[in-house]
Chains A and B, each alone.
Chain A
């Protein structure tokens, strides 16, 4: 776009995603996926293979993750330098409109001005009170990704996608896992039908058990030969329910925005539970409800959708705006994925959400479902376990949501997310051709089996604003 750009980085380039999130976790999940395959004797036997006992070297695995993070960090730094971005090191604070100061601790501060400022300070693992983190036996995802040790038995507090991914890693490396979940259902954020199937495949047959409807009111790290103790209380009645003694505990109860020390009070902006309030164009709203000019906030810090690619998309939307083109990001078109084995991915609404919207706005919804068992490629790989689900409006062919659980789900979802972003209707997309035999035919099945009363539409309609 030709804008002069500077980044103020208080820690390491790349932030959470590169150093403590997406990158190292996918490295570990790649290892765990391979381990699981190699250890699944009957699975391999069905293909006619046999493998002698597969093993792993913990340091080697940790190194793979760390080296990858370093590599990506360096690539990112070089790329930025190459395109002319100034990287300023230090913690940034907003002094006033269009004015920022930054500096390293102990050094004097520099003050700079800019036409537009974007806050993208991200988030940190949220640790509920009563839980004592020692970084060794009671850890957050930050520590876990370093894989300093593989415990025999680890309790994972929180069964969302972070907890789920870690359970995949740890069980593949030989640990046993106990989930502690506050809500009554495991994996509460997922579409319930997918969640049920995921539980059957990712939890029941593995060395995992769980306690639902409980909070971990107190967690004490291991000391003097005593194990990590976790006191569980009923989530509703708060009565003590049980005590767990495990070798380690991973706190995966979500992420809290990192917005302290940003100097927001200098411009009369009040955070809500730590999040920076923004409108649908990512413009920051101050305590009086007015837009702060030239100040934007994207990513985890604004809490709209705490995913790395959502942050990027929001950033792009902001730049479009800065360059004079109005743009509003449709969050319903942003896919999400969970990289367990098999993977889970989704875009749009879950079935309960869709039904609620349908009731409120007075339209019907329909479902189309297909099993990976019907897909030739999945069967060839002996990975027929999986389900894809399409939620749509039969009257006009609008796609409301797509959920996939199965091999390569994270890659397959994009056909659906593209369709939602462009407002493509089912009656148009069902004529698209998919190569055979590929897993993408799973989605082809969904589109072709959907029954829409409208005929082929003439032009693509406007994307729906959030």
Chain B
């Protein structure tokens, strides 16, 4: 019954429900909110029983009774599979099965609530709303909270891939010849199952199977592409004032306990140290607004070949850097320019427990398709915590993208060294002298009203980029002309596919 106390905090006062049942027991039906606790006590939890001494969790085999059924004490309500056998579970109270919280096939820990029992029929709807607003997992409870916390945020799970992806929704089903002009979606059984599990909307997936059928790997690619966009949006150096101090996590965050003190993990310790180190470097910032209509159109065209927006931006940046080598330089000893021999674009990625910067080597020389493939490999490795040192500490310029959150503009902190850490090997903590002179923070591409050349008002998609650079080696004019070149490349992106 301890669960009831938690429920109370998110419980929506049911005055509207009370009003709906004016004829029921008048003594309980007042709008006095202090009666809340009295009413709550009438809604009981049916919890997962321990069917054997070794059982820690049970799986619901089937619900014998359905929502709304009347229950008498001792009646079988549900069949539960334990580690030994399937057993019928009886109810200890009379009442009505108000809400089923764990469905057939679902698993629940011993002692957790699997259903709610209401004493009277009137309370069934109350119990249902309670069941909806509370749930066994803390993560779900977090998402119901209205505002993100000011301190370390409890991050909602990554938003659904369809919303997050760069706003180009291709109506994929129209490609299928027999789909009657896009009316029918043809997908294989496994693809349908995956789409359900990964929450991918089949209507937006391009089919690569026979005759344009959507197959499993198309669904996986759609889910991964969306997740990659979410993932690459980490701003490892964003200063505290920015609303979110920790970017979206790929694997979903564990619940944050308010009022608790949680020591840094080794990776978080490394990040913190690096950030403090960066205070020794004199930096300045230059911003630029870039029109992305042409880039978006190009992306739409070549997306099906596995090209991601990250790869396109990296390639554009690399080509611009090729024309402005000083922006690709760094100041290692405080006395000289170190002009890096290759252009290696590091892209900030949030991973479980921290962040890392996989590097796309020679981004100016590699073609966009290979770059995209390489990027996917690096992200997978990063997630599996299998990145090798040379894959994350050889960057000469960093890209950080928070666009998927709707951030229009932010400043990044110039990484004084590589933020690298391998959680499997606690000794591996690389801290190197500055290899990078600059870092670019990319905001969201948003449709904006602009004044056009002929004096009219028009609409263009625009994004704001902001570069933080080390003023010991990079001066204002250098940075400004680099950004001008970058804007030109992005606004006329034909060179990106060379």
- B188 and A176 within 8 A (CB): yes
Chain A positions 166 through 210: 1 when the CB is less than 8 Å from some CB of chain B, otherwise 0: 000000000011100000000000000000100010001001110
- B178 and A227 within 8 A (CB): yes
User: Which candidate, A120-128, A139-147, A365-373, is the interface stretch facing chain B?
Assistant: A365-373
Q: Of residues 203 to 259 in A, which have CB atoms within 8 Å of B's CB atoms? A: 204, 207-209, 225-227, 229, 243, 245, 247
Given A196-B62, A245-B213, A153 contacting B189 (CB threshold 8 A): yes
Highest count of chain B CB atoms <10 Å: which of A178, A204, A225, A373 = A373
- B210 and A176 within 8 A (CB): no
Chain A residues contacting B213 (CB-CB under 8 Å) are 153, 245
Asked whether B475 is an interface residue with its Cβ less than 8 Å from the other chain, the reply is: no
Asked whether B264 is an interface residue with its Cβ less than 8 Å from the other chain, the reply is: no
- B85 and A209 within 8 A (CB): no
Chain A residues contacting B209 (CB-CB under 8 Å) are 152
CA of A230 to CA of B85 in the docked complex: distance in angstroms? 41
Q: Of residues 169 to 194 in B, which have CB atoms within 8 Å of A's CB atoms? A: 178, 184, 186, 188-190, 192-193
Q: Find the A residue at minimum CB distance from B178.
A: A245
- A227 and B193 within 8 A (CB): no
Asked whether A61 is an interface residue with its Cβ less than 8 Å from the other chain, the reply is: no
The residue from A152, A204, A226 contacting B178, defined by CB atoms under 8 A apart: A226
Chain A residues contacting B243 (CB-CB under 8 Å) are none
Chain B residues contacting A373 (CB-CB under 8 Å) are 83-85
Asked whether A374 is an interface residue with its Cβ less than 8 Å from the other chain, the reply is: yes
Chain B positions 262 through 298: 1 when the CB is less than 8 Å from some CB of chain A, otherwise 0: 0000000000000000000000000000000000000
Chain A residues contacting B84 (CB-CB under 8 Å) are 371, 373-374
Asked whether B86 is an interface residue with its Cβ less than 8 Å from the other chain, the reply is: yes
Q: Of residues 194 to 226 in B, which have CB atoms within 8 Å of A's CB atoms? A: 209-211, 213, 215-216
Asked whether B105 is an interface residue with its Cβ less than 8 Å from the other chain, the reply is: yes
CA of A178 to CA of B189 in the docked complex: distance in angstroms? 7
CA of A196 to CA of B104 in the docked complex: distance in angstroms? 11
- A208 and B211 within 8 A (CB): no
CA of A176 to CA of B83 in the docked complex: distance in angstroms? 31
CA of A301 to CA of B436 in the docked complex: distance in angstroms? 84
Chain A residues contacting B83 (CB-CB under 8 Å) are 373
Chain A residues contacting B216 (CB-CB under 8 Å) are 207
Q: Find the B residue at minimum CB distance from A229.
A: B178
Q: Of residues 60 to 113 in B, which have CB atoms within 8 Å of A's CB atoms? A: 62, 81, 83-86, 105
- B210 and A209 within 8 A (CB): no
Q: Of residues 450 to 469 in B, which have CB atoms within 8 Å of A's CB atoms? A: none
Chain B residues contacting A208 (CB-CB under 8 Å) are 189
- A370 and B85 within 8 A (CB): yes
B306 to chain A, nearest CB (A): 21
Asked whether A298 is an interface residue with its Cβ less than 8 Å from the other chain, the reply is: no
Q: Find the A residue at minimum CB distance from B177.
A: A226
- A209 and B189 within 8 A (CB): yes
Asked whether A387 is an interface residue with its Cβ less than 8 Å from the other chain, the reply is: yes
A244 to chain B, nearest CB (A): 9
- B189 and A176 within 8 A (CB): yes
A342 to chain B, nearest CB (A): 16
CA of A176 to CA of B190 in the docked complex: distance in angstroms? 7
> How many pairs of residues, A versus B, come closer than 8 Å at their CB atoms?
50
CA of A196 to CA of B105 in the docked complex: distance in angstroms? 12
Given A227-B178, A227-B210, A152 contacting B188 (CB threshold 8 A): yes
Tell me whether chain A's interface is mostly helix, strand or loop, or mixed.
Answer: strand
Chain B residues contacting A245 (CB-CB under 8 Å) are 178, 186, 211, 213
B257 to chain A, nearest CB (A): 32
Q: Of residues 147 to 163 in A, which have CB atoms within 8 Å of B's CB atoms? A: 152-153
- A153 and B188 within 8 A (CB): yes
Chain A residues contacting B85 (CB-CB under 8 Å) are 369-371, 373-374
B54 to chain A, nearest CB (A): 11
Highest count of chain A CB atoms <10 Å: which of B81, B83, B85, B189 = B189
Chain A residues contacting B81 (CB-CB under 8 Å) are 371
CA of A248 to CA of B345 in the docked complex: distance in angstroms? 48
CA of A176 to CA of B209 in the docked complex: distance in angstroms? 13
B150 to chain A, nearest CB (A): 42
The residue from B62, B86, B189, B211 contacting A207, defined by CB atoms under 8 A apart: B189
CA of A208 to CA of B216 in the docked complex: distance in angstroms? 12
Chain A residues contacting B178 (CB-CB under 8 Å) are 226-227, 229, 245
Given A196-B62, A245-B213, A371 contacting B190 (CB threshold 8 A): no
CA of A200 to CA of B105 in the docked complex: distance in angstroms? 8
Chain A residues contacting B193 (CB-CB under 8 Å) are 207, 209
Chain A residues contacting B186 (CB-CB under 8 Å) are 245
A217 to chain B, nearest CB (A): 18
B493 to chain A, nearest CB (A): 36
Chain B positions 303 through 347: 1 when the CB is less than 8 Å from some CB of chain A, otherwise 0: 000000000000000000000000000000000000000000000
CA of A306 to CA of B42 in the docked complex: distance in angstroms? 57
Chain A residues contacting B189 (CB-CB under 8 Å) are 153, 176-178, 207-209
B139 to chain A, nearest CB (A): 24
Chain B residues contacting A227 (CB-CB under 8 Å) are 178, 210-211
CA of A226 to CA of B190 in the docked complex: distance in angstroms? 21
Chain A residues contacting B210 (CB-CB under 8 Å) are 152, 227, 247
Q: Find the B residue at minimum CB distance from A208.
A: B189
- A387 and B86 within 8 A (CB): yes
CA of A371 to CA of B184 in the docked complex: distance in angstroms? 43
Q: Find the B residue at minimum CB distance from A226.
A: B178
B176 to chain A, nearest CB (A): 9
A323 to chain B, nearest CB (A): 49
Q: Find the A residue at minimum CB distance from B192.
A: A209
- A369 and B86 within 8 A (CB): yes
Chain A positions 380 through 416: 1 when the CB is less than 8 Å from some CB of chain B, otherwise 0: 0000000100000000000000000000000000000
Chain B residues contacting A207 (CB-CB under 8 Å) are 188-190, 193, 216
- B86 and A371 within 8 A (CB): yes
Q: Of residues 335 to 386 in A, which have CB atoms within 8 Å of B's CB atoms? A: 369-371, 373-374
CA of A247 to CA of B211 in the docked complex: distance in angstroms? 10
CA of A245 to CA of B180 in the docked complex: distance in angstroms? 12
B202 to chain A, nearest CB (A): 13
Chain B residues contacting A370 (CB-CB under 8 Å) are 85
Highest count of chain A CB atoms <10 Å: which of B62, B193, B216 = B193
Chain B residues contacting A200 (CB-CB under 8 Å) are 105
Q: Find the A residue at minimum CB distance from B215.
A: A152
Highest count of chain A CB atoms <10 Å: which of B62, B188, B216 = B188
Q: Find the A residue at minimum CB distance from B105.
A: A200
CA of A226 to CA of B211 in the docked complex: distance in angstroms? 8
B255 to chain A, nearest CB (A): 27
Q: Find the A residue at minimum CB distance from B190.
A: A207
B64 to chain A, nearest CB (A): 12
CA of A209 to CA of B189 in the docked complex: distance in angstroms? 5
Chain A residues contacting B188 (CB-CB under 8 Å) are 152-153, 176, 207
Chain A residues contacting B192 (CB-CB under 8 Å) are 209
CA of A374 to CA of B189 in the docked complex: distance in angstroms? 34
CA of A387 to CA of B79 in the docked complex: distance in angstroms? 14
Chain B residues contacting A153 (CB-CB under 8 Å) are 188-189, 213
Chain A positions 71 through 113: 1 when the CB is less than 8 Å from some CB of chain B, otherwise 0: 0000000000000000000000000000000000000000000
Chain B residues contacting A152 (CB-CB under 8 Å) are 188, 209-210, 215
Q: Find the A residue at minimum CB distance from B86.
A: A371
Other A-B pairs beyond A176-B190, A207-B216, 9, CB < 8 Å? A176-B188, A176-B189, A177-B189, A225-B211, A245-B178, A245-B186, A371-B84, A373-B84, A374-B84
Q: Which 7 A-B residue pairings sit nearest by Cβ, starting from the closest?
A: A207-B190, A209-B189, A371-B85, A176-B189, A176-B188, A176-B190, A153-B188
Can you name 30 A-B residue pairings with CB atoms under 8 Å? A152-B215, A153-B188, A153-B213, A176-B188, A176-B189, A176-B190, A177-B189, A196-B62, A204-B105, A207-B188, A207-B216, A208-B189, A209-B192, A209-B193, A227-B210, A227-B211, A229-B178, A245-B178, A245-B186, A245-B211, A245-B213, A369-B85, A369-B86, A370-B85, A371-B81, A371-B85, A373-B84, A373-B85, A374-B84, A387-B86
